[in-house]
Structure 1
Amino acid sequence: MRYFLMLLALLVGSLLPLQASLNAKLGSFLKAPLMAALVNFMVGAFILLMVIIGSRTPNNLMLAVKQAPAYAWIGGLLGCIYVSFIIILVPRLGAALSFGLIIFGQLGFSLILDHFGWLGLPVQPINWFRIGGVLLILAGILVIQKF
């Protein structure tokens, strides 16, 4: 099961540069990167609504809203920032360099989240091998940027 989930993560990850390129294209067509981000979220919200209605997902929204910690709502803000900046960065840096830097940032901060077990994550201490893996990503970014 773990390998299936790893493969799924790889496949879903491969969609991000495609999404970014399509959003960047929409942003240049609209001449408004933030409007493209809004369209992205509107289409995504509509699709999710259809899936929720179609799957007859139990809706205990009011109860869930009351129980969720305040910081849990920041994810929507972070998604807006991420998508908006991707639309700005990809046309200027290219998909490979943009996502290389994004992945480096993600992995670097993920090591910290894991190490301290923040947000309820299982603790996985930072070690030199994990740091080395992130530094290899940085080396790849430097090669991508150079050539």
Structure 2
Amino acid sequence: MNGRTIYLLAALAGGGILPVQVALNTLLRRYVGEPMQVTFVSYFAGTLASLVICFLARYPLPASTSLSQTSWWMWIGGCLGTLYVWSTIFAVPKIGSALALGLTIAGQMIAALFLDHYGAIGLTKYAASPTRIAGVVFVVLGVSLVGYAKR
């Protein structure tokens, strides 16, 4: 296995976990109530899991000097994650998990193409080549097929 393969597999596994997360959060909504309440419960459980993993791995707390060197906007990643989790809990009961996640993936691909192309937010630049643009177009077309398929 080459050095890149582990990263490809990690990303694939992360993507494979998302539909399970969405399904579990959608099920939890039946018992908890509003999508934002479920989002809170989900993030609280994730926070606890992260805390336990950091403790077991003996990761030290970040130094306050390191944290003070960050910009305010670097901290909104969790807020954006909250919006993602909420959006799937909100949408899945009405449009299904395949279409909701397909649209999520299409949105991710479109945004990622721009972020990569411009090297935004400190990312390494990867040009939006015709091949990469075509790949995103195929993703959008695939999502369109999922959305327009008869039930």
> Normalized against structure 1, the TM-score is what?
0.94
Whether 1:80 and 2:82 are equivalent positions in the alignment is yes
Question: Where in structure 2 are the equivalents of 1:6-17 lying within 5 Å?
Answer: 6-17=8-19
Amino acid paired to 1:120: G
Aligned positions of 1:1-147 closer than 5 A: 1-147=3-149
Q: Contact 1:104–1:137 at 8 Å: present in 2 too?
A: yes
- Alpha-carbon distance, 1:31 to partner: 2.2
**Aligned-partner residue type, residue 133 of structure 1:** G
> How far is 1:24 from its partner?
0.9
Choose 121-130 or 58-67, whichever is displaced more.
Answer: 58-67
Structure 1 moving runs of 4+ over 2 Å: none
User: Distance in 2 between the 1:35 and 1:71 partners?
Assistant: 25
Gaps of 5+ in 1: none
Report the RMSD for the aligned CA atoms in angstroms.
1.1
Conserved in 2, the CA contact under 8 Å of 1:27 and 1:34?
A: no
Tell me how far 1:71 sits from its aligned partner. Answer: 1.1
